[in-house]
Amino acid sequence: MNPPRLTISDDDYPELEAVAAIQRGLHTFNQEMGGPYDREPVTVLARDEDDVVKGGLLGLTYWNWLFIDWLWLSREVRGQGLGTDLLSRAEAVARARGCTDAYTDTFSFTAANFWKRNGWIEAGRLDGMPPGHARIWYRKTL
């Protein structure tokens, strides 16, 4: 049986269905190889008295891991321990879900020492991304 003839093209603005097909295909393959994801979001927010979000953490738990995708604090609330509070809460959520490990990535210009102070260790680095800086992966055993 001959494989189907395919056309390869660039697409700066792909249709949502094309993006979804790629995502579904990769998710299906990953679960066939690694087992069910049981993916659940982790969202921890810090709001002021007017209910305005001043910081937060967005992540996922799956395969007994916590992945932290985003951790952000507005300038006026940085340096007060709020990041550690958000991180601790996310780690507690992950432990309650049975997670044993966690990972994230960040840039060298975004408070890389924050992760080390909170017990995370460097697991990988791409120097020169962006130029003059590095992209750093951290992990932690929960």
**pTM greater than the 0.85 cutoff:** yes
What percent of the chain has a predicted confidence (pLDDT) above 70? Answer: 100
SS3 141: strand
pLDDT bucket at 109, cuts 50 / 70 / 90: very high
Q: Tell which residue, 97, 24, 104, has the closest CA to residue 61.
A: 97
Predicted local confidence at residue 137, as pLDDT: 97
pLDDT tens digits for 39-54?
A: 999 999 999 999 999 9
Domain boundaries defined on the chain: 36-141
Q: What average pLDDT does the chain have?
A: 95
Alpha carbon separation from 125 to 17, 134, 141 (Å, rounded): 34, 7, 19
CATH 3.40.630.30 for domain 36-141? yes
Using the predicted structure, report yes or no on whether residue 112 has a pLDDT greater than 80. no
The tens digit of pLDDT for each residue in 55-65 reads 999 999 999 99
Instruction: Indicate whether 114 pLDDT > 90.
Output: yes
* pLDDT > 80? residue 117: yes
Name the range with the highest mean pLDDT among 7-16, 61-70, 104-113. Answer: 61-70
Q: Measured between alpha carbons, how far is 96 from 75 in angstroms, rounded to an integer?
A: 31
**What digits encode the pLDDT tens for the residues 72-93?**
999 999 999 999 999 999 999 9
